[in-house]
Amino acid sequence: MVEDASDGRDAQRGRAAVQWTGGHQSLLRIGVSLWLLLRAAEGIGASGAGASELQALGQLAAMPTPVALLWLQPRLLLIAALCLGVGVRSRAAAALCAALIAGRAALVFAGGGHMAPADAAIAALLTLQWLAPAAPYGSLDARGRLDPGGGWQRPAWHGSAAIVVLAGTTVGASLMGLAPAMALALLLAAAAAARPAWVGRVDCDGPDVVFFDGHCGLCHRTVRWLLAEDPVGALFRFAALDSATLQDRVAADTRAALPDSVVVLTCDGRLLTRFAAVRYLLARLGGVWRVLGAGLMIVPQRLGDLGYDAVARVRHRIFKSPATACPLMPPALRARMLP
């Protein structure tokens, strides 16, 4: 059973429903991995400061077992957190990270201590990551597949479980205070519990047309991202900048001034380029992407265009040019490509 794309409150507000997508899952995964990296760095600094690796490994053999495990835990956590962050065997990495946190808590508990509420919250979020479907969009595990989204769907019970985690984390924060680790854990728990449909998306009467440079690797990746984050296919259609669709829908004098990257023709006839196009695409996708787009509103348009142009100038050197003008995709998605 998967999370229902519709939400009763969303319908009452007249907003288009937004699903929890693979992109949402990957952003949450990256956030949790950053928390783990900070915790691992803190643990390494506390357990082995000033010793060379050879000396530390020599000392390890003479340590009592609990002390040796406490020395190893942050180092193993660092490796597992890196794998989780980039999405390499992310489910296994999440399970290992949760086990390492629980194992350390057990040793601390045996010594008369207790498990920190922030650790408990992150361990719960890691368990949800472990129980989620594999290879969401944005992970290295998903790289190279024809369908960028891969049919990834969040289990329906995940949202309810995340709300329970958020409630427990809130209680822990009220008892222990908002130390940095606790505050970040609370933010991550809130992100996991939130439904993208509560944020909604910018509505339009039909799909927008996204024109892209068929010889640009970054543009191809942008198209694949939009395909993955629009699993229903209601938001976008795609065409190359040298396509007949652009010639039919945009006047010749306007076409001559368009940048050779990504251009958006909205369903209500507006033609958006550069920074304005980026902000619109984020708002159109909705959910966490709309929140990010709202954050970009503080950036002046002129400054945003300068940044966009700076990336556009180097994109061919950073991203490999595709073999074909159209991104490779399964037949089910080819209908979204216009001639």
pLDDT category, 275, cuts 50, 70, 90? very high
pLDDT at 252: 87
The lowest-confidence range among 59-68, 102-111, 265-274 is 59-68
Give the mean pLDDT of the chain: 85
Please state, in angstroms and rounded to a whole number, the distance separating the CA atoms of residues 301 and 269.
Answer: 20
Q: Are 87 and 142 in contact (CB under 8 A)?
A: yes
Report which of 84, 86, 331, 329 is spatially closest to residue 226, judged by C-alpha positions. 329
Instruction: Look up tokens 């909705």; give the residue.
Output: 286
Question: What's the pTM value of the predicted model, to 2 decimals?
Answer: 0.86
List the strands of the sheet with 262-265, edge to edge.
236-240, 208-212, 262-265, 271-273
Which positions ≥6 away from 199 have C-beta within 8 Å? Answer: 18, 286, 287, 288, 290, 291
Q: Give percent of the chain with pLDDT exceeding 90.
A: 52
pLDDT category, 304, cuts 50, 70, 90? very high
pLDDT category, 159, cuts 50, 70, 90? very high
Task: State pLDDT tens for residues 66-122.
Answer: 666 777 888 899 999 999 999 999 999 999 999 999 888 877 776 666 778 899 999
239 to 8, 132, 257: CA distances (angstroms): 35, 34, 18
pLDDT at 8: 40
- Per the structure block, which two tokens stand in for 72? 């190893």
The lowest-confidence range among 51-55, 139-143, 172-176, 234-238 is 51-55
pLDDT at 259: 85
